[in-house]
Structure 1
Amino acid sequence: MTHFSNVSPSRRRWALCPLAAVMLGLSGGAQAGTVAFNQEAGLDYAFTLTYSAAMRTERQSDALIGAANAQGDDGNSNFARGAFINNRGSALGEINFHYRNMGVMVRGNGFYDHAYRRKNDNDGSTVNHDGAADEFTRAARRRLGADGRLLDAYAYITLPLASTTLNLRAGRQVVSWGESLYFPNMSGAQAPADATKSTVPGVEVKDILMPTGQVYGNWVISDRLSAMAYWQWEWNDTELVPVGGYFSSTDLVGPGAEYLNAIPALNAMGLGKITNAGDITPGNNGQWGVGLTYQLGDATEIGLYRLTYHDKNPAAGVVFGAPGPEITLPQATIQLPQDYRAFYADHIRMTAASFSTELLGTAMAGEVSYRQNAGIVVYAPNGILGVLPSVTRGDVWQANLNATKLFMPSALWDTLILVGEVSWMHTGAVAPIQAQGGSFAEVATGRDAGAYQFMIQPGYRQVFPGWDVAFSLIHAQQFKNRAPVSGALGSLFGEGDKRVSVGPNFKYLSNLELQLLYTGYYGSAKSGSAAGEFAHARPLADRSYVSVSAKYSF
């Protein structure tokens, strides 16, 4: 089947998807079909059906539910130990019609998940939504219970220009530059993501990016030099886990967020809640990027890029509205904010560089970026609510380095792949917040942040007639503070947040896959809501689970 990749050429050459690299080596390419109308026109298609089920294996931590985490425990409280967190059937299909040097690509999916179409296990003690406590919010039922959508839908054409080639695409598509594997850097500025997929250790950046409407061009000037550019006509935000979803870590932001439960004792009088007034979002205009890549040799490529974008993820804090009416209590008279809103930073400027090469038989790649005017949070007083992470703007550096090593067959494996990536972030200049007669610029996430992830995957051919198997061990850890830019270090939160995933993947005749996986979340549980603990939050530390899945491609 003709496949049109949106990743950079160097990533296609060297930083192969770890699972795909092994599976291609074990069993050949993905299943697909082709209908040839004549010698110049044809239709390629591929469809995948999947069933998956997952069950919680760890009880809820007392540090992450109830009064200890009243504004972030709905998702945790909705699932007791042994509950299904996923019971899903899904379908994915793509069709590519091509004629001579042009064509149209369309891709869509749909699913039904019974885990979110039933009652849940919430006892209602600190629930942050109206209605029955043991029912999921409407947003959670709609986004996690059943959905269908069009993903990619774009037209493409390849044009010869003298001795050069110009490739053009227009429509809903993913454009992803740079060399990131596990931690979004440049690619996180270019495309929104499906955050519901990002919590699984080992998932790669390219597997969670979502399409957006844009025009993209790649001009192959010579065998060594290429220029590229895109212009986006719409802004789409990352699909956050809805409030009440199993991997939801906050009840205040995301689909289904209704209110902050500031003074529960006053809820009966309708006075203790701060209402969610919606998000502060950018407009659709002003997002573009240009880049150059140059091959220094057969195994080395460098790239330079300049982007202007609007953040696809909300800043880690919220923006409170004007003070509401006075509330007279026996102890004092107080005022709560009328409302709060999530904030998406706009008009962020990014300058970036990338490289890929081969060193001692190992594929090495990396990228470094400099964000100007990014949305970050600093500690600042917010009246009666106390000192909280508050949204401002600042400059952020990020550097990623990854390596991929494929080993020759041995007595212990038919294939063996090692993949690892480390990412480091540094916050530079910060715009201070002026509040209560003071100036506040202490970065709540910490000035520096870092995380790493690696995977070891041996594979074996023909374990049974027609069956190949690969075993995966994946580990991820946030070893320093918390990412100043939301989502830049994946789904990892604060310092000490650890994830591990282990299990086999069986494949039969290249089209049937069966997987058993245990995913553990480690690090002491900590909500991060206490003073000074924001950079050390580990709100998913009790979410370990076991999952099974079956996938059939045709």
Structure 2
Amino acid sequence: MAGQLKNILIASAVLSSLAATPVVAITFQNDTGTLTGDFTTLLGTGFGMRVSGIDTSPEFAASGFAVSGDKNYSKDHLFSLYVKVTPEFSFALPEQGISFLARATIQHDFAADWTNSPLSQPARNQLVNNPQLLDLWVSKSFNINGQTGRVRIGNQVINWGETLYAGGGINSINAYDYQKYAIPGTLLKEVLLPAPMVSVAGGILPGLRVETYYQVAWNADKFAPAGGYFSTSDTFGNGSGWNQIKPSNSGQFGFSGHYKPVGSGVDFGFYYLHYNDKAPVYQTDGTPNGSYRYLENRSLYGVSSNGAVGDWALGWEASYRPRDAVGLGGCYTSPQSTYNPSGPFADTSVCPYSIDARKIQTSVSAVLGMTPSDYPFLVKHVLHANNAQLSLEAVMVHYNIGAGTVSRNLNGAQVYQPVLAGGYFFQDSSGNLVSTANKYSGSLNVDFNWSYDGNVIPGWLFTPDIFYSYQLGDNPSALAGALAGNQATTISLFFVQNASKNVITAGLSYTNYFGGKNRHLTRQYYRDRDFVGGYLNVTF
């Protein structure tokens, strides 16, 4: 306990010193203006604390969610208390059309290993000390027949598509750090993991622009390690001790085009991606625990559009994947035994707990910006705010495989496997274990925020924010992109001060997980993991 108190005092000292940081960003330029550059640094600290007690009910244990990640952090205990530094260096040679960016982040979390049982070393390495190179690229712009373009080489992020919150759509080029995403104060540029690529973008004709890339090295999504606060399985992620079968680095490329008719405010996009999966699927293969394998040679075809209707900014996208992994249970000897976790199992050297299916995903988003003059009743008279914003998103996913049993021949053995969203069994109206997968699934996401610019806290932009998410259907993907009825609400307070020497941002939040009830079992794997969090970042 004394060690924990010491670390809390250290973090508190860092917090205080950040607020009083007197240094400024370094900006340079030569006498002729042919070379310009900036060096900025973000210093940050933040915390996350569990506010729900550990669920010890038989129902929750039977659901399979009472894992070490749930038991490792008690109520009113911190699961994160970090300090970090994110330096960024950029320079440009405007006359030559050359620009350069380098960005990295170094984070130390004092509280991540304050657990009720010891973390494995791989899990601790990910949670406690996590230095990471982010962007590192050089870019050259060009002009051909009046059309501008650029070539970029190095670690970079490419954003395609129109989704606001949901994953699994067109924006699938870069890997995600889902563990960091859940930690209060994490920036988007720390969540989207840059990949080594060569990309070319530019105009071809008036109103028509294209972009293409080739990724020279594969990288994977990062999930919460086994035993970490946001882990939902002891057999998945760093620290699970299971073997990984990684894909090759080749065969990762894509193409996009955007057409915006001259004089029109509507943009039409089309996309093609060829990639190797960034999230794994499980298989038994004769190794002690089995293996997680990353599947190769995948394709995505997509279309999108965006524009404005009145005060609303609208976006839409649809994507098709000819082969996407659907989660299965073990290899059984008969269809009658597929819902008995004890078997009997078929005698096959390799049993993949997944099968490829066709996937279609579509989403619609709408964003409404509101000012006191345009929406006086809500913004001016009710909220007394300077502005407000409402964001809506609806996502629908369709697989051609749903609830039931898959029959196939593996290495000469006829096997039967139940279709299971994320590998989870649930119960029917009679209490029997059944397949948990729907051909159709999706989510609804709503965000509303409103801001006060100096009239609540002088010198500060103050923004309350409410986010709500509702999941529809049991998504049959191997990692269960949705489980029916799962809901979450996050209430946040954001603070921004634009000082002459630095920018200070801070936030406080509370996240509540609920819903997902299914007779005597639950789909809500986070139902006892409500938490509060906060952060303070100073950029100079």
Determine if contact 2:107/2:130 at 8 Å carries over to the other structure.
Answer: yes
**187 and 172 in structure 1: CA distance in 2 versus 1, 3 angstrom threshold:** farther
Determine if contact 1:64/1:73 at 8 Å carries over to the other structure.
Answer: no
Aligned counterpart in structure 1 of residue 35 of structure 2, from 27, 37, 41: 41
Aligned counterpart in structure 1 of residue 260 of structure 2, from 263, 282, 295: 295
Distance 2:43 2:165 in 1: 25
1:254 matched residue in structure 2: 237
Q: Any idea what SS the aligned residue of 1:142 has?
A: helix
Distance 2:209 2:274 in 1: 20
Q: Which amino acid aligns with 1:320?
A: T
Distance 2:515 2:182 in 1: 15
Which digits, 9 at most, give the CA deviation of each residue in 1:202-222, with x for residues without a partner? 999776311011101102124
Distance 1:63 1:389 in 2: 32
Aligned counterpart in structure 1 of residue 245 of structure 2, from 265, 280, 286: 280
1:261 matched residue in structure 2: none
**369 and 32 in structure 1: CA distance in 2 versus 1, 3 angstrom threshold:** farther
Q: Any idea what SS the aligned residue of 1:175 has?
A: coil
Q: Which amino acid aligns with 1:281?
A: K
Distance 2:139 2:150 in 1: 7
**229 and 207 in structure 1: CA distance in 2 versus 1, 3 angstrom threshold:** same
Distance 2:364 2:182 in 1: 21
Distance 1:354 1:287 in 2: 21
How far the C-alpha of 1:184 sits from its partner, in A, is 2.1
Determine if contact 1:189/1:312 at 8 Å carries over to the other structure.
Answer: no
1:172 matched residue in structure 2: 155
Determine if contact 2:419/2:476 at 8 Å carries over to the other structure.
Answer: no
Q: Which amino acid aligns with 2:166?
A: F
1:98 matched residue in structure 2: 92
Q: Any idea what SS the aligned residue of 1:221 has?
A: strand
Q: Which amino acid aligns with 2:533?
A: S
Count of residues in correspondence between the two structures: 467
Q: Which amino acid aligns with 1:417?
A: Q
Distance 1:357 1:33 in 2: 39
1:193 matched residue in structure 2: 176
Q: Any idea what SS the aligned residue of 1:242 has?
A: coil
Instruction: Report whether the alignment pairs 1:418 with 2:393.
Output: no
Q: Which amino acid aligns with 2:275?
A: Y
How far the C-alpha of 1:189 sits from its partner, in A, is 2.5
Distance 1:72 1:204 in 2: 30
Aligned counterpart in structure 2 of residue 437 of structure 1, from 414, 434, 444: 414
Which digits, 9 at most, give the CA deviation of each residue in 1:112-144, with x for residues without a partner? 1111244x12xxxxxxxxxxxx21111222111
**394 and 204 in structure 1: CA distance in 2 versus 1, 3 angstrom threshold:** farther
How far the C-alpha of 1:46 sits from its partner, in A, is 2.3
Root-mean-square deviation (CA, aligned residues, Å) is 2.8
Instruction: Report whether the alignment pairs 1:321 with 2:285.
Output: yes
Determine if contact 2:223/2:237 at 8 Å carries over to the other structure.
Answer: yes
How far the C-alpha of 1:95 sits from its partner, in A, is 0.8
Q: Any idea what SS the aligned residue of 1:339 has?
A: coil
Gaps spanning 5+ residues in structure 1: where? 1-30, 122-133, 259-275, 323-336
Q: Any idea what SS the aligned residue of 1:136 has?
A: coil
Match runs of 1:80-479 below 5 Å: 80-100=74-94, 101-118=97-114, 120-121=115-116, 134-199=117-182, 208-258=191-241, 276=242, 278-296=243-261, 297-315=263-281, 318-322=282-286, 338-382=288-332, 385-386=342-343, 390-409=353-372, 410-411=380-381, 412-428=384-400, 433-434=408-409, 437-438=414-415, 440=417, 442=419, 444=421, 445-462=437-454, 463-479=456-472
Determine if contact 2:140/2:151 at 8 Å carries over to the other structure.
Answer: yes
2:537 matched residue in structure 1: 551
Identical residues among aligned pairs (%): 22
2:425 matched residue in structure 1: none
Distance 2:173 2:196 in 1: 11
Q: Which moved more, 1:414-423 or 1:506-515?
A: 506-515
Determine if contact 2:98/2:141 at 8 Å carries over to the other structure.
Answer: yes
1:128 matched residue in structure 2: none
How far the C-alpha of 1:33 sits from its partner, in A, is 4.8
Gaps spanning 5+ residues in structure 2: where? 1-23, 334-340, 346-350, 373-379, 422-436
Q: Which amino acid aligns with 1:520?
A: N
Distance 2:479 2:172 in 1: 11
**446 and 205 in structure 1: CA distance in 2 versus 1, 3 angstrom threshold:** farther
2:67 matched residue in structure 1: 73
Q: Which moved more, 1:404-413 or 1:103-112?
A: 404-413
2:526 matched residue in structure 1: 540
How far the C-alpha of 1:441 sits from its partner, in A, is 7.2
Which digits, 9 at most, give the CA deviation of each residue in 1:71-116, with x for residues without a partner? 8601111001111011011111211111121021100001111112
**166 and 246 in structure 1: CA distance in 2 versus 1, 3 angstrom threshold:** same
Determine if contact 2:408/2:414 at 8 Å carries over to the other structure.
Answer: no
Distance 1:449 1:110 in 2: 38
Which digits, 9 at most, give the CA deviation of each residue in 1:271-326, with x for residues without a partner? xxxxx2x12221100011011100034421001111111111123xx20123xxxx
Which digits, 9 at most, give the CA deviation of each residue in 1:402-444, with x for residues without a partner? 1111001223211100112111100026985436635557464
**433 and 80 in structure 1: CA distance in 2 versus 1, 3 angstrom threshold:** farther
Q: Any idea what SS the aligned residue of 1:103 has?
A: strand
Q: Any idea what SS the aligned residue of 2:239 has?
A: coil
**199 and 472 in structure 1: CA distance in 2 versus 1, 3 angstrom threshold:** same
Q: Which amino acid aligns with 2:323?
A: N
Match runs of 1:514-525 below 5 Å: 514-524=506-516
**202 and 352 in structure 1: CA distance in 2 versus 1, 3 angstrom threshold:** farther
Determine if contact 2:512/2:530 at 8 Å carries over to the other structure.
Answer: yes
**442 and 485 in structure 1: CA distance in 2 versus 1, 3 angstrom threshold:** closer
Which digits, 9 at most, give the CA deviation of each residue in 1:480-530, with x for residues without a partner? 21262648x5xxx4111111111211222351122111111112578x9x9
Distance 2:363 2:188 in 1: 13
**400 and 408 in structure 1: CA distance in 2 versus 1, 3 angstrom threshold:** same
**524 and 68 in structure 1: CA distance in 2 versus 1, 3 angstrom threshold:** same
Q: Any idea what SS the aligned residue of 1:197 has?
A: helix
**55 and 205 in structure 1: CA distance in 2 versus 1, 3 angstrom threshold:** closer
Determine if contact 1:406/1:418 at 8 Å carries over to the other structure.
Answer: yes
How far the C-alpha of 1:370 sits from its partner, in A, is 0.3
Which digits, 9 at most, give the CA deviation of each residue in 1:247-282, with x for residues without a partner? 001111111102xxxxxxxxxxxxxxxxx2x12221
Q: Any idea what SS the aligned residue of 1:312 has?
A: coil
How far the C-alpha of 1:244 sits from its partner, in A, is 0.8
Determine if contact 2:363/2:395 at 8 Å carries over to the other structure.
Answer: yes
